[in-house]
Amino acid sequence: MLLVFVIIAFISIFISSATKISVFRWVKLMEFIILYIYIASNLKFQSSNFKLNNGFLTKTLLIIVCLGVFQSILAILQFIKQHSIGIKFIEAGIFSPDSPGVANFTLNGERILRSYGSFTHPNVLAGFLLLSIFAFYYLFLRRDIRGKLKGLVIVSCFLVIIFGLFLTFSRTAIAVFAVMTMIMFLLEFFKLRKLEHNEERLQKSKKLIKLFSLVIVSCLLVIVILFPYLKARFFMITIQEQAVDLRFFYNKIALSIIKEKPILGIGIGNFVHYSQNYQTFLRAASKMAGNSANEIPDWIYQPEHNVYLLIASEIGILGLLMFMAILITNSIRMIRRINPLVILFVGFLIIALTDHYFWTLQQGGMMFWLALALAKTE
């Protein structure tokens, strides 16, 4: 199915109006799939030797958690300074709350910068921190952690990552974090009930209670500290808000493109380029901006924010069906071994309904296919 999906994406290059862009995006898709195959193969073929599998998975997840701590520290510093830190080759650029196109929100008439970390958008940082948090959950519940010093370090790292997640003020990611975390705890609880009353069940119960307490205390602490900001960001949302309004706008454009080019789409990676000459888009964008078509602001030209509609518009309904077949097939296998990494991937599938970075950005593509590979672990 992966091969067929790649072939369909490749064919779409030949009908693209921007061939170079499509070739680049297809090469990137291949890169992400090769990463997926590499990680999944290591997890699968080393499963016969538990120590090898254990070591590979543990090291991979530890790297993700450590990077999550680093990104969160960077996010905290950016929030305190309300400006990029100025670290060359790490941060995505120089930005402040008043910079054009920068992600922010308003509190008491003042613009507040959302933290970027080293990513191109706070939502992408939030996606990576979700990956770090659920990697942490897996390690905490399934690996031995002993010693007070080690325990203190672990608690501190988790608190820092939670702070980083909330400082992105990404509503979808934070909602997914809350819901998927509660689902994870419920599933882990029901797993424990199936075990016999022995030492193993007692140890696992203690771990689950400790982790639950850590999550609750960390979240409450962050919410108390950031309450005015969270209130302004989460409780003032309206259907007329630009972020919401634009998503409906891009959905309509994507559906219009799918109706016109249903089989092979407009070419992989071509949504933005195609929109610049697509009359339906130009008329709608002009009306939204309140300007003539010649004065449409550049920032309006963005990818469709629903990954599934974006795939259908770029490589056609056939490409979307094959993509969904890959997800469904893997999901059926995952049901047999539900763990925090599987729940994380389900969360990513939900985020894909409202954001495009899993398909369009380097960091997002790596996160998505890495999460799919990790979700295949036992």
Residues 232 and 244 in one domain: no
Residues 269 and 359 in one domain: yes
- Global pTM reads 0.91
Residues 8 and 147 in one domain: no
Residues 233 and 320 in one domain: no
Predicted confidence (pLDDT) per residue in 8-51, tens digit: 999 999 999 899 999 999 999 999 999 999 998 888 654 444 44
Residues 270 and 360 in one domain: yes
Residues 248 and 271 in one domain: yes
- Pick the last residue of a domain from 222, 237, 252: 237
Residues 254 and 207 in one domain: no
Predicted confidence (pLDDT) per residue in 161-195, tens digit: 999 999 999 999 999 999 999 999 999 998 888 77
Residues 327 and 373 in one domain: yes
Predicted confidence (pLDDT) per residue in 76-95, tens digit: 999 999 999 988 888 888 88
Distance CA(274)–CA(366), nearest Å, equals 25
Residues 219 and 308 in one domain: no
- Give me the number of domains the chain comprises: 2
Residues 178 and 243 in one domain: no
Q: What is residue 178's predicted lDDT score, i.e. its pLDDT?
A: 97
Residue 180 domain boundaries: 51-237
